[in-house]
Amino acid sequence: MDSSKPAKVVKDVVEAAAGKVTDVLTPDVPGAPGSAPPPFDEPTTPHGPLPPKEEQGAPDTRTPTGAETGVPKIAKGQQGAFLTTANGARLRDTDHSLKAGPRGPVLLQDHHLREKITHFDHERIPERVVHARGAGAHGVFVAYGTAEEVTRAGFLKKGTETPVFVRFSTVLGSRGSADTVRDTRGFATKFYTDEGTFDLVANNMPVFFIQDAIKFPDIIHAGKPHPDREIPQAQSAHDTFWDFVSLHTEAQHHTMWNMSDRGIPRSYRTMEGFGVHTFRLVNEAGATVLVKFHWKPKLGVHSLTWEEAQLIGGIDPDFHRRDLYDAIESGAYPEWELGIQVFPDTPEETFAGIDLLDPTKIVPEELAPVQAVGRLTLNRTPRNFFAETEQVAFHLGHLPPGIDVTNDPLLQGRLFSYLDTQLTRLGGPNFTQIPINRPHAEVNDMLRDGFHQHAVHAGVAPYRPNSLDGGNPFPAGDRENAFVDTPVTVAEAPKVRAAPASFDDHYSQVRLFWLSMSPVEKEHIIRAYTFELGKCYHQAIKERQLQCLANIDPVLCEQVATGLGLPAPKPTVPLAEVQPSPALSQVGREWPADGRMVGIVVDADSDLDGVSEVRRAVFAAGMVPLLVAAHGGTVGDLPVQRTFATGRSVEFDAVLLAGAPAPAPDALPARDDKAGAARSTTVDPRVLLLVEEAWRHAKAIGAWGAGAEVLRQAGVAGTPGVVTGDAGAEVFGAVQQLMGAHRVWERFPASVS
Ligand code: HEM
């Protein structure tokens, strides 16, 4: 096989195996499951496993001790043309148990049955206790060299390319929960550096609910479903969450980030990432600085609207996962710049009066600009979700020389927690030997034995000092690039369970965040609090949270109180005098729209040449066109991706109308709740719904030819962000420009300034 051309190999294999490929609709949009269209008939000619899809990657084929094997990645998958047992013996039947006669009982002797069922019975492992729902991708990080002055970490030296694996996640939901719930998102990156693995285990919000890791079980127990009924799933709109955050007021800052649009990202590709804690960097000369890590997405920071998030939760619970994989498959590789905010490493560990050890505080970018140090590109999807995304294990203690921790008490507890949980989740102490976790640096530890030991250690002396193994392994000295724990001076102090006084300020930065929002973002925050508190049963909890809001901002408090039908309390602390940070707002800039989905409504009367041209233009712009029509198959020669029955506006970032399709035979307004009431006898009601929703969610809409009639009937013609023209290409050009701002923000009148 020519593994450099997997798609061709697949096609040849399938065609040779089946004689004829029946799938005439070449899947030129991403998402088809196999690497080739399947034949209609079950294949009967033995052949090797089909190669993976072109965009799929896999962990490096290193040994458990980090050595390169030179073995192709494909060797980790199934081999050969014939079905075998786990031990490689060929099987002639896997459809029938071994029985005493065709109608007789099953024999205990059936080792194939027992192996197959036993293995299946043990396929599941415990899901992560938090961040259970996630999606991962492979990529590469290239350093700019701009961090060389502050750190000796080799992977940050100019031009160094480091393979990475990234896992994005939600926090609260179970592994099968929906992607678009309101929650914080995890953004964990494993850099396989030559000097040992570096894990940057970040979130899409720069602050955390708690200041001390000892409170982690409390906030998670409060956020997870109620323990009696185990509801609600994957969300914070319930009494226990608000009970905790209204009492434990250091959680208020992170809570407002969750209530803001950051809690419902449009895509993993449009999220920022934050290391949250302050880290310490050490350069070649041993000098140190304090830093905060930031990931800045190339596409900008964008969110869903709340209604979109809710609809998608039902229509496509895998929305973010699908978006990530589809973007990579279509070549719109997600990119971020890694940046650092740099602070002098002073004994006070503060900057501009902000305590750098308090993980509920940010340092506004206006005070300490984020300096770009490298670029991350995700360019391969996992070949196997379980092997890679589920088994990957991140840990803050995975640090290369040049990066060290600080005394942030949240960080310190995390240093314990990850390794501890992974011992159970991954079934023993040897999970660093699982392919996705294998370091790319030489491993020469003295850890031995344990469940699932993959390494075959040589020697007889796994202890130090030894003479029996010639003294190996030796501790590395300064010139051999050892990781050195920075000798930070710790002030003499009594042993106490206490926090510094600076940790008592729970409101000033929440107000800073609130005042930094544009009116439309403030409006969304108000609606989010009103919704979430409105779902609580107990009035005391709502009143207590209103008190917290009063301490943040009176307008916010009054508006939420009005929605809840409760009086707005007066603040119990003076409102903080703060300087807003415009960098925190997501609105008001222009961004590329790579990998976005454009729905194009067509019917047989549409100008299909024009539609073809628009499809090409959409692809050329790095986006994906999805044709929406009354039925599947083709319209003219063009393949249809969504029908009026299977598509929904929330899948699209923009909608183009190349026709005004008449009601299709399956448009049954009285029976199809999606069709709504019969408002038009000339346009399919689901097309009208599509346009109305797209308009309500402030998406760009364009129409040409008969499409303009749909705009008229939907009552949106001539409104902001709705363009018409004579030709599709011209209309798409205008729509593309509108998409740069993410939404047509004028369509959201705000009740606050
Ligand atoms: C700044 C605060 C925190 C951030 C940014 C953060 C981030 C993350 C992320 C991104 C993951 C998912 C990793 C993956 O994709 O596999 C995760 C998992 C986890 N976190 Fe945190 N976390 C924070 C605080 C904490 C604290 C305070 C604790 C405990 C004391 C904790 C315990 C855990 C555990 C047990 C997991 C599951 C790990 C696994 O099963 O592999 N986290 N966290």
d(CA 162, CA 149): 19
pLDDT at 557 over 50: yes
What does R_g of the chain's alpha carbons equal in angstroms? Answer: 28
Q: Is residue 202 within 8 Å of residue 276, measured between CB atoms? A: yes
Query: Which of 417, 424, 426, 437 gets mutated to test ligand 1 (max ligand atoms within 8 A of its CB)?
Result: 417
pLDDT, one tens digit per residue, over 673-698 is 565 555 667 999 999 999 999 999 99
Whether ligand 1 lies within 6 angstroms of the CB of 56 is answered as no
pLDDT, one tens digit per residue, over 440-479 is 999 999 999 999 999 999 999 999 999 999 999 999 988 8
Whether ligand 1 lies within 6 angstroms of the CB of 343 is answered as no
Question: Within 10 Å of residue 579's Cβ, how many Cβ atoms?
Answer: 10
Whether ligand 1 lies within 6 angstroms of the CB of 167 is answered as yes
Q: Range(s) for CATH 2.40.180.10 in the chain? A: 134-433
Which residue's C-alpha comes closest to atom 23 of ligand 1? 414
Q: Is residue 661 within 8 Å of residue 629, measured between CB atoms? A: yes
Q: Does domain 134-433 have CATH number 2.40.180.10?
A: yes
Residues making up the annotated binding site for heme are: 128, 167, 216, 414, 418, 425
Whether ligand 1 lies within 6 angstroms of the CB of 133 is answered as no
The per-residue pLDDT for 13 is 42
Q: Is residue 165 within 8 Å of residue 138, measured between CB atoms? A: yes
Whether ligand 1 lies within 6 angstroms of the CB of 130 is answered as yes
Q: Is residue 277 within 8 Å of residue 406, measured between CB atoms? A: yes
pLDDT at 243 over 70: yes
Contacts of 639 (CB under 8 A, 6+ apart): 25, 26, 27, 28, 627, 633
Question: Within 10 Å of residue 749's Cβ, how many Cβ atoms?
Answer: 8
Higher pLDDT, 249 or 73: 249
| Ligand 1 centroid from CA 290, angstroms | 22
Q: Does domain 503-584 have CATH number 1.20.1370.20?
A: yes
d(CA 690, CA 676): 11
Q: Is residue 570 within 8 Å of residue 550, measured between CB atoms? A: yes
Band (20; pLDDT cuts 50, 70, 90): very low
The per-residue pLDDT for 672 is 61
3 state DSSP class of 241 = helix
What are the structure tokens assigned to 85, written together?
């047992």
* Interval 720-730 mean pLDDT: 97
pLDDT at 25 over 60: no
Band (34; pLDDT cuts 50, 70, 90): confident
* Interval 296-312 mean pLDDT: 98
Token pair 């075998």: residue: 84
| Ligand 1 centroid from CA 418, angstroms | 7
The candidate with the shortest Cα–Cα distance to 566, out of 597, 585, 544, 584, is 544
pLDDT at 26 over 90: no
d(CA 507, CA 361): 10
The per-residue pLDDT for 678 is 53
> How high is the mean pLDDT of the chain?
94
d(CA 287, CA 743): 46
CA dihedral 521, 525, 527, 532 (to 10 degrees): 150
Least confident of 396-410, 528-542, 655-669: 655-669
CA 482 to each of CA 195, 319, 399: distance values in angstroms, whole numbers, following the listed order: 9, 43, 11
The per-residue pLDDT for 671 is 61
Which residue's C-alpha comes closest to atom 25 of ligand 1? 414
| Ligand 1 centroid from CA 487, angstroms | 27
pLDDT, one tens digit per residue, over 270-287 is 999 999 999 999 999 999
What are the structure tokens assigned to 99, written together?
């029985």
Residues making up the annotated binding site are: 128, 167, 216, 414, 418, 425
| Ligand 1 centroid from CA 392, angstroms | 13
What are the structure tokens assigned to 180, written together?
């678009």
pLDDT at 417 over 50: yes
* Interval 716-739 mean pLDDT: 97
The candidate with the shortest Cα–Cα distance to 514, out of 241, 309, 752, is 752
The per-residue pLDDT for 511 is 98
**What is the DSSP track for 592-617?**
--TT-EEEEE--TTS-HHHHHHHHHH
d(CA 226, CA 461): 51
Q: What is the CATH number of domain 597-747?
A: 3.40.50.880
Q: Range(s) for CATH 3.40.50.880 in the chain? A: 597-747
**Residue % of the chain over a pLDDT of 70:** 95
d(CA 421, CA 68): 29
Ligand 1, atom nearest to 210 Cα: 27
* Interval 613-640 mean pLDDT: 96
Considering the entire predicted model, what is its pTM?
0.95
Q: Range(s) for CATH 1.20.1370.20 in the chain? A: 503-584
Report cis status (omega within 30 of 0) of the bond before 487.
no
Band (599; pLDDT cuts 50, 70, 90): very high
Ligand 1, atom nearest to 131 Cα: 12
* Interval 598-607 mean pLDDT: 97
* Interval 99-104 mean pLDDT: 98
